[in-house]
Amino acid sequence: MTDRNTISQRLAQAGYVADRDLATALWLMDLLQRPLLLEGAAGVGKTAVAQALAQVHGAHLIRLQCYEGLDQNAALYEWNYQRQILALKVRETSGQAAAAIEAEIFSEAYLLERPLLAAIRSETPIVLLIDEVDRADEEFEALLLEVLSDFQVTIPELGTLKARSIPRVVLTSNGTRELSDALRRRCLFHFVDFPDVDREAAIIKARLPAIDATLALQAARFVAAIRKEELRKVPGVAETLDFVAALTGMGIDDIRRDAEAVYDLLTALLKTHEDHAAIGLEVVERLVHKVA
C-alpha cells in the first residue's frame, strides 16, 4: 500500500470504513513492520479491522483468542505427548542410544503448532489477530515479547525459529486491565472509538449495501442518541447492523413513523435487563424525533 487514502479505499471495499487516524496507523504498521495495538470499548469494531486487513491483502487470518489462564501450550506450541510415548515404547528394545531417541521425539515431527508458531512459520504473509489480550494473564505477555519484537520464537529443543514472512499483527484490548509497558513499547497504538453518525451510516451502507441511505442515516442517529442514555452496555457497531437488518426485515423505511415497532426491535441493540428497563417506549418516542 502506498498511502493512507489507498488503505482507506481498500478497507472500504472490504466493508470497513476507517477514519483518517486508523488509516494512518495501518499505513505506519506496514511501513515500520510493527504490530498494532487497538484499544477501545467492546463493540467498536477492533476485531473487524484485522478481518478487513486480511481481506485487503488476500491473506490468511490466524486468530488467537485470549483468556485467563492462556499459556504457551495453547498459544505457541506443545509436544505431541501421545506420539512421543508411543515412539518410546516402540524403541524400548531397539538398542538405539537414548540421546538419539530423545533427539528424534523432540523433532518437528512431534511438534504441534499453535497460533503464534503457525504465524511465524507461515510461508506466505498472514494477519495475526491477538484478540482481547487484556483477558490473558500478565505472564502471557512475556511470551509475546519475542514474537512481537523480533518475529521469532525460541523452542529449547529446536532453537530459534525466525519468521519466514513478517506477519501483520493486530492486538486488541478492551482496557479491562492495564497492559505492560514492555508490550506497549513493541506496538503502534490506536484508540478505536464509537464511530460518529456519518461514519456509522457509511458503515451501514458498506455492510448492508441494499439499505436506503436515509434509513441508514436515521438508524445511525438513533443509535448515537441511545448511546448517550445511561446504559450498562452501550450497543456496538455489530448491534447497529443487527438493528438495521431488523428494521428492513420489518419493512420499516422511516423510523419516525413507528416508534412502537422500533421499541420492539431494541432487543437487537440492548443486551441487559437493566438497559431494557431503562429504555421504555416513551424514551424511544423521544429519541426517534432526533433522527430527522
Identify the pLDDT of residue 2.
63
Identify the pLDDT of residue 50.
97
> CA-CA distance, 75 to 120, in Å (whole number)?
12
Q: Who's near 121: CB < 8 A, 6+ residues apart?
A: 113, 161, 163, 164
Identify the pLDDT of residue 114.
96
Identify the pLDDT of residue 225.
95
Identify the pLDDT of residue 32.
94
List, for residues 18-62, the tens digit of each pLDDT value: 999 999 999 999 999 999 999 999 999 999 999 999 999 999 999
Across the chain, mean pLDDT equals 92
Q: Who's near 89: CB < 8 A, 6+ residues apart?
A: none
Residue numbers of the chain with a pLDDT score lower than 70: 1-2, 292
Identify the pLDDT of residue 1.
53
Going by their DSSP bridges, the two strands 36-39 and 168-173 should be labelled as parallel
- What is the grid cell recorded at 107? 523433532
